[in-house]
Amino acid sequence: MLGGRIPWGVREEAVLIGVYDSGYGGLSVLRHLLAAFPDRDFLYLGDSGRAPYGGRDVHTLLDFGEQAVERLFEEGCRLVIVACNTMSCVALRHLQRHYCPPEGDRRVLGVTIPAAEAAVAHSAGHIGVLATRRTIASGTYPTEIRKLAPGHRVTSAAAPLLASIVEEGWEDTDVAREAVRRYLAPLAGIDTLVLGCTHYPFLEDAFRAALPTHVHVLDPAPHVALRLATWMERHPGFVEPGSGRLRVLCTGDPDAFVAHGTRFLGRPLPPVETIAEVGGRLAPREGHVEPRGQVVRPKRDRADGGTAG
């Protein structure tokens, strides 16, 4: 049932902020949120066991988004930040309409509008967007940018390998520099580059080396934190501070999440709790042991009582 327990003794009047991402990358957004709101309580959900999202079909993303947001609401969050660009571009409106009626006390916010606003503020008229295939296919960034600046030109390109390069820790390698150079080729002539994936800011040096010096390289993460501050000024019901606690959930291997996540967050993570999909929802799971070799599960009875074949 949605709207369940408030974890680890947080005062009921405190507003717990959920941050949802496909895996580790959203921790770079959380880093800025923690700096901007040091007295707030955060719950981070990284769907690392099902990442990456960039090549997923739309309906699978909607399912994943529903499961994650429901889990965060069950844990006591009233405000959820969708830090994943792919999910923000594809599923944000669905999640808002499904879970946030105007008369309700829950909200789901994304990262695309703060990024679009910042890009328009910096651009002289030609904005480039580099992101995952699904983010680019959604057309969300050009749509939001043109709402703000109808005369601006937007050129977009997918860069599916860059997230994996970052997760491997290969940012300062010839592989990374060559990949960045090739992905930037379709964006010739831009004056502002939106890094439309939370992994890409870790390649900022490679981007700057490959671009003309006048091109502004935009990491949306700090702008998300700034935009949230102004949003809270307009929504005082979400402003109650907590005690500065951070809790982390992931759907994959928690040890791997800690190892990778510390680099993205820029500081050690608290103990990471494991959740997994059970019956179409994300549920807590005790421990995480990956079986080796061939795996056989007990045969499940068919609902209609029939037999396979």
Cβ(100)–Cβ(36) below 8 Å: no
Instruction: Note if 77 is an active site residue.
Output: no
Instruction: Note if 197 is an active site residue.
Output: yes
H or E element at residue 147: helix 140-148
Q: How far is CA 16 from CA 49, 75, 187, in A?
A: 24, 9, 40
Which of 77, 84, 89, 250 is the catalytic position?
84
Backbone angles phi, psi at 301, to 5 degrees: -70, 140
- Cβ-based burial of 18 (10 A; exposed 0-12, middle 13-18, buried ≥19): buried
CA nearest neighbour of 70 among 90, 47, 102, 50: 47
Contacts (Cβ under 8 Å, ≥6 apart) of 12: 6
Which of 77, 89, 197, 250 is the catalytic position?
197
Token pair 């010739």: residue: 188
Cβ(151)–Cβ(142) below 8 Å: no
Active site residues per annotation: 84, 197
